Amino acid sequence: PYSKQYGQALAPNADGGWTSAVGGNGGNLSRTYYEQFTVTAAAGGQVRLDSLLLTAYVNLSTTNTKLAVVYSRSNFRTDSADVSGGVGPTGVLLSSANGGFLTPVLLTTSNTYRFNFLSAGGLPIQSGQTLTFRLYFSCGSSTLTTRFALLKNVLVKGEASVVTATRAGSGAGRLQAYPNPGTDGLTVAHPAASLGATLVIFSLDGRQVTRLYPAAGTQETRLPLQQLASGTYLVHYTDAGGTWRTTISKQ
């Protein structure tokens, strides 16, 4: 089973084989072989799930080593959807390898990925509702042992309830925007971005309107405002260290 401390090693065969001779799916993804996780909103509350972070690779092989993520709010009885892209070790994932079942990520060495549940707005989960997501792996190696898919640091990112303008977060004072108010755009100063960091603009009713991915190591990101209606918006910067927030105005 998956361990928060150690993660998990998995393969169709207990010895780490993937070939059809040992009952595996080889270098092609199969709906039969997956690792499943669930997230449940607490009673009396609701959450908006933003993304899934994980570290994954296949031990000792890069031959057709693939990963896809699919999720469902009915335990795959009446609905399912692919993740809608995200960020990998070299930046934003290509549409041809964005983590969907038909467009899986090609795994190489141990790397961290951030997959989006929806391209905009996040995925709302109501009180008591459960989101189920499945990770599908493949490996085309003909070796019958030791080719385990290694999975660790599985983390779902999101936010409880509806975002409001008065909500404060730890480190909020470290996020600054200028010039504020802005017209065509403004610059947000934030902690040095780690891989997978996001900068998101929300309307005051909690709708996501813009998502950016700051380059690793940068401490400032330019926010374009041309397409936004005049008004007040919330800006959330999130990386491995947490979430920082501020409020901006578009004139």
CATH of the domain at 232: 2.60.40.3080
Shared domain for 111 and 205, answered yes or no, is: no
Q: Which residue has the tokens 């780490």?
A: 16
Q: Centre a 10 Å sphere on the Cβ of residue 235 and count the other Cβ atoms it contains.
A: 23
Q: 210 and 244 in contact (C-beta within 8 Å)?
A: no
Q: Are residues 118 and 139 in the same domain?
A: yes
Query: Would 237 be classed as within a structural domain?
Result: yes
Q: Which of 160, 190, 211 is the last residue of a domain?
A: 160
Please tell me whether residues 155 and 177 are part of one structural domain. no
- For residue 53, give the nearest of 137, 152, 199, 129 by alpha carbon: 152
Percent of residues, the chain, with pLDDT higher than 90: 50
Same domain, 42 and 90: yes
pLDDT at 171: 42
Is residue 1 assigned to a domain?
Answer: no
Domain termination site, one of 134, 160, 186 = 160
The pLDDT value given to residue 166:
31
Domain that holds residue 207: 172-250
Q: What is the mean pLDDT of residues 112-138?
A: 85
Contact 117, 10 (CB under 8 A): no
Q: Check whether residue 153 and residue 183 sit in a common domain.
A: no
Output the pLDDT for position 47: 80
The whole-number pLDDT of residue 121 equals 60
What global pTM score does this model have? 0.67
Say what the pLDDT of residue 168 is.
35
Q: How many domains does one find in the chain? A: 2
Give Cβ neighbours of residue 98 (< 8 Å, ≥ 6 apart).
83, 84, 85, 86, 105
Q: Is the domain of 144 the same as that of 237? A: no
Quickly state the pLDDT bin for 157 (edges 50, 70, 90). confident
Residue 99 in domain: yes
Task: Kindly state whether residues 213 and 114 are assigned to the same domain.
Answer: no
Is 62 in a helix, a strand, or coil? coil
Tell me, what's the pLDDT at 207? Answer: 80
Q: What pLDDT is recorded for position 161?
A: 52
Within a domain: residue 165?
no
- Given 112, 131, 160, the domain boundary residue is 160
**pLDDT single digits (tens) 203-243:** 877 788 899 999 988 888 999 999 888 888 889 988 887 88
Same domain, 130 and 105: yes
pLDDT digits (tens, 9 = 90+) for 40-76: 887 776 788 888 999 999 999 999 999 999 999 899 9
| Domain co-membership, 95 together with 208 | no
Q: Do 153 and 180 have their domain in common?
A: no
